[in-house]
Amino acid sequence: MQRCVNVIGVGMSPFSSAALSPDIVALIGHTARQALVDAGVSASSLGSVYAAADVHHAAALQRGLEQVGVGRVPLRHVGQGSDLFSEACQAIALGQAESILLLGLQSAPTLSADMSGMLERLGSTAREYMTRYQARRETFAMIAVKARQHAALNPLAAFRQTLSLDQVLGANMLAEPLTQPQFAWPAAGAAALLLCSSEFASRYCNGPVIRTLAQACVSPVQVAGATQGSTFAEVGYDINVAAARELYEQAGRGPQEVEVCELHDSSTLNELLLYEALGFCLEGSAEKLVEEGDNTYGGNLVVNPSGGLLSLGQAQSLSALAQCIELTHQLRGSAGRRQVANARIALQHHVGATGTVITTLYQRS
């Protein structure tokens, strides 16, 4: 039987569209200390540290950890934040660790090597969606407007300036019908999480505990063959559907119970399709959900209250951690002006560098 995984401490720096300051060591130390102080846990009680960062920052990670007294704790260095998060959860669930401090560091914004190919796929899929469901280009743009409205309340977001619908529609066209503000642009920053078992939480933690109800990881290989010729397979729609179904089955919960969600909005098209893939509405009805405001405050579900990747910025080494941090604040009731009223169940959706989809359901204990 797997054990419950809990989030008890969080810390994060502001995201930046520019490279971080040269003092990476101090930033790492400050972010790790934030998570420890937030949890009310001493460094001496930690079992291990998982870190996602460029290989050339390994020495800086070690020195930063030494600043907060965890220099002797075993450090596991992995490549991507999504992999880091799911591996750490698995280690605690299987009894391989009692507590893990997770660190993510992105020192400079990094563009995808396949940018032109990605834009072509997204534009083509957006046009196909519009043809199939008679959707309007304004609907995609409304998602970008919503993202910036949420980000205006988040001091840690890289892109906080609000945009009108006309400004989004009139921006530089990158992949018809999608304009520049409708894509998540690279950012830099640092984030930290403290995960633990229920036994560790009851022994050391006096603050609020957020527990994971379930987590599902689905790779492209697992759905290969079943997706040929299927709906919007080129942008991973079927992988997202499979990850959502597995998550809900594990948790014994349904999408109608989710009140707040942080999802991988690498573009407004991706976010719109995820409304359907995650079961928040029927296929072909996402336009209605957007135009009725059911994806923001006052609606049935608040999507990406942080501003999402569209506004927070996209950073492979820490975006998954940032999503978890936002949902932790929402379930604690500590999200300030972004607070979703009476949030009890939260869903996180993230896509790793290899296309693996990780979905996690959270609840406040």
Position 80 scores a pLDDT of 64
Position 115 scores a pLDDT of 82
- Which regions of the chain are under pLDDT 70? 1, 79-81, 113, 225-231
The residue behind tokens 């102080």 is 37
Residue type, 148: R
The chain-wide mean pLDDT, for the chain, equals: 92
Degrees, nearest 5: CA angle 175-234-171 = 15
**Same structural domain, 341 and 257:** yes
Q: How far is CA 110 from the centre of its chain?
A: 17
**Same structural domain, 149 and 261:** yes
**Same structural domain, 341 and 247:** yes
**Same structural domain, 191 and 181:** no
Position 50 scores a pLDDT of 93
Give the chain's radius of gyration (CA, Å). Answer: 19
**Same structural domain, 339 and 247:** yes
**Same structural domain, 174 and 202:** no
**Same structural domain, 153 and 169:** yes
**How do strand 260-262 and strand 302-303 relate by DSSP bridges?**
parallel
Domain that includes residue 72, residue range: 5-110+187-207
Position 231 scores a pLDDT of 65
> How many domains are contained in the chain?
2
Position 74 scores a pLDDT of 83
- The CB density around residue 334, as the number of other CB atoms within 10 Å, is 12
Contact present, 233 and 320 (Cβ < 8 Å): no
**Same structural domain, 17 and 137:** no
Position 215 scores a pLDDT of 96
Measured distance CA(347)–CA(213) in Å, rounded? 10
Measured distance CA(73)–CA(186) in Å, rounded? 31
**Same structural domain, 49 and 140:** no
